Amino acid sequence: MHELSLSSAILDTATRHARGRRVTAVAVRIGALRQVVPRTLEFYFGFVTRGSVCEGAALELVVVPARLACDACALEWELAAPGFRCPRCQTAEVRICSGDELLVESIEVIDEPAPPVTWQLAPLVEPRAAPPPRAANDAQEVDACTAPG
């Protein structure tokens, strides 16, 4: 479930920045290339936030259009249908300008006398990325109890 893992990532980021305060709204920018179904993401967000400081928070989604740029002629255009060739000069040497983002832009919290603060947060970890390799003897050390002396 693509949207489920994205919801968890959004919840983690919002919870971290709320520092125990109740979150009433979370604004998220998401690239069109991630092919997220907004209603599905909202559904899973409501599910994963149960019992958290984000429970009941509004999820404000902004879908960022995918834009491509041609390295040969510098044309920049919005990707309407799948296709990675420059519509002007037909070369395939193009790069993605936008459309792959996932960014929790801001959260709104209550329980503070100050007005809502807007944070500019770093992009979330790419959910498709493989976990970093780890040493084989790392695996069991989590449970080790080392008493000094």
Find how far residue 35's CA is from the centre of its chain. Answer: 12
Judged by beta carbon, residue 37 or residue 92, the one nearer Zn ion is 92
Binding mask 5-44 for Zn ion (x = CB under 5 A): ----------------------------------------
Binding mask 46-85 for Zn ion (x = CB under 5 A): ------------------------x-xx-x----------
Q: With binding defined as CB under 5 A, does residue 86 bind Zn ion?
A: yes
110, 25 in Cβ contact below 8 A? no
Q: Could you give the residue ranges of the DSSP H alpha helices within the chain?
A: 2-18, 38-48
Pull the structure tokens for residue 109: 């919290």
Which of 133, 99, 92, 119 shows the shortest CA–CA distance to 13?
119
Judged by beta carbon, residue 54 or residue 86, the one nearer Zn ion is 86
Using CB under 5 A, count the residues that bind Zn ion: 7
Nearest distance, CB of residue 90 and Zn ion, angstroms:
7
The CA-based dihedral angle spanning residues 124, 25, 64, 99, taken in that order and rounded to the nearest 10 degrees = 10
Judged by beta carbon, residue 71 or residue 112, the one nearer Zn ion is 71
The CA-based dihedral angle spanning residues 70, 77, 63, 125, taken in that order and rounded to the nearest 10 degrees = 10
Q: With binding defined as CB under 5 A, does residue 117 bind Zn ion?
A: no
Q: Which residues of this chain interact with Zn ion, rule CB under 5 A?
A: 70, 72-73, 75, 86, 88-89
